[in-house]
Structure 1
């Protein structure tokens, strides 16, 4: 842990539990109404008649934080399951340019890195990287088997390639090695100076760590704390006697330790309600989340951790992906995470966690 120092004077906190500055490393815009975007057909099947645009984000995130005295420095828009990542990136850029309250300074675009034709993939990545603000790529990899209506930890996005585990192989069962076409696509990111947002299940983290070690020039950030799933359930009527799923925790810990051993790997503190649905309902749930956040920051260090709201609809859905009916507002979220860490880290370290790490990772000045 880090001791408080004179550096704190330059990064003094607002009140007891709020950072001075915040850069949001992860959020989404979408428009699936009938007159919405043509590249969100798949998303429209999941979230019909749903709109979330820069003005909504300003209302829900930026304005409340500013009102609390937090300097809002900007944000990164992360792909939202588009059918065409290039078109979505252009749309996000247009939305940002057309809105006076826009905050987007970085875009993480969708791109299928598992394409067989490496020459074509390279040309398409070059085209994508030329769009202003595009900083990185995400291709959702969650897979512990077929989707089966969400019974597994497989993300709904993997319906598009159901049963394929790009990190551990799929033909004839998992062979413990990334699918070659995907690894070739992953390796291309470095030449285009693009980062990779890794969203996968805890069981995939060990092979993800091996992939990252083979490609140290590709900067990777783990989304959503590594996505341990439902360590406690249900999220209501909690009397404080529930115990976390130790098997899931053990898999997550082993994978996160392996990932942290790679200096090119970072992590986002976000979507905490996926790990503990309704974690703000009770002290026992908050305490469990606190332990996971503290463990993660200790493992990776402040300079490789970044806080993100994942905001795109409402507090509950942004926090848990539909696993709970409650979630913290962005201001409550920042206050809680800050309170988890303020005793053990200097204000300079905390400034990295809440702002500087994300800005440096995505190359935002």
Structure 2
């Protein structure tokens, strides 16, 4: 082994990191305005720039990793523009100069004139906003178990990617596709958060709109591959091959579109408690490696999804354990470092996100 190879194998963390996905929350002041929906779920809760700096930036920098900034992603606000204005106020002062880009909320399925009005206002008044997210998870009417994200309660039973209520065997809802197409006009990206069963139709949508850059949130959200688990000592080691197959075919289809990227984030949603056993770690390494192999390093980006604590950020309530930001970077870096070049590792941990969202580092 050469000295260069030996140095690489002994490294535990990337040289630099741009966090491609995190959230700020304040339901104490803003609960009656743009975070009213969220306030019903987590009343009197704050997660502000100083908290993120304490939990994410400071430990990462102390570990010797250069922090290149972050991307703030919408947190199911009632008013996407108001939330984006709130985040922008932090970027203009000393609270969060590290936020390099904002992904705002906009209901792309509403009347097209309304969509255009909102996108026009965002593009002219909020230069930090680089993209839009409208959470699309739908595997059935929301009941707390079937749907994969609380935000879909806003459009309960409607699958914008596979049609309305029923068998979900249709096509993209036309109103949503019209709004999605407007992102090209305003040079905005789209953060795609959906369930694995929706990826095939999402792929067709992306193929019809090749100029809209799309990033799949949270590894495509394969769900509880070893079963629902809030017990870090769960010894169930039998992976759900059916769920895995649906995710794999959907991700293969998405990867065929050169305008589609993916975030390596919220890994505990796929395998709750993944840091608690070697079996889970090995399975997670395979999921991450398979994703990077499908999309290539220049279309993969790493993100903490941090907003409350390590377990919530990692598993969205599916587990009571999760890696802290430094441990998360160390684990993902360890999954990849022996088989990925230094140049490609830089892409995965910082340069891909910077290029996708159009920010300098």
TM-score (norm 1): 0.93
- 1:278 paired with 2:278, answer no
State the shift of 1:128 in Å: 1.3
**Structure 1 unaligned residues grouped into runs of 5+:** none
Q: Pick closer, same or farther for the CA change 1:345–1:254 going to 2, 3 Å.
A: same
Partner of 1:168: 162
Once the 2 structures are TM-superposed, how far is the Cα of residue 263 of structure 1 from its aligned partner?
Answer: 0.2
Flag the structure with more relative contact order, 1 or 2, with Cα contacts below 8 A and sequence separation at least 6: 1
Number of matched residues?
357
Question: Structure 2: any 5+ residue segments left out of the alignment?
Answer: none
Residues 79 and 88 in structure 1, CA contact (< 8 A), matched pair in contact too: yes
Q: How far did 1:17 drift?
A: 1.6
Residues in 2 aligned to 1:302 and 1:266: alpha-carbon distance in whole angstroms = 10
Q: What is the CA–CA distance in structure 1 between the aligned matches of 2:266 and 2:84, rounded to whole Å? A: 23
Please tell me whether the aligned partners of residues 9 and 338 of structure 2 are also in contact (alpha carbons under 8 angstroms): no
Quote the residue 2:256 is aligned against.
Answer: 261
Q: Deviations over 1:286-316 (max 9, x none)?
A: 1111110000000000000000000000000
Q: 1:162-193 CA deviation, whole Å, 9 max, x = no partner?
A: 00000000155424310000000000001100
CA contact (8 A) 1:65 1:331 kept: yes
Aligned equivalent of 1:28: 23
* Corresponding residue number in structure 2 for 1:197: 191
Q: 1:63 aligns with which of 29, 38, 58?
A: 58
Contact 2:9 2:337 in 1 (8 A): no
The corresponding residue for 1:243 is: 238
1: distance between equivalents of 2:316 and 2:107?
Answer: 23
Aligned 8 A contact 1:202 1:251 in 2: yes
Alignment partner for residue 286 of structure 2, among 288, 291, 315?
A: 291
SS of equivalent residue, structure 1 residue 268: strand
**Separation of aligned partners in 2, 1:161 and 1:308:** 27
Taking the aligned partners of 2:233 and 2:338, their CA distance within structure 1 comes to 28
Per the alignment, residue 132 of structure 2 pairs with 137
| 1:261-280 residue CA offsets vs partner (Å, 9 max, x unmatched) | 00000000000000000111
Q: SS at the partner of 1:184?
A: helix
TM-score (norm 2): 0.95
Q: Deviations over 1:174-216 (max 9, x none)?
A: 2431000000000000110000000000000000000000000
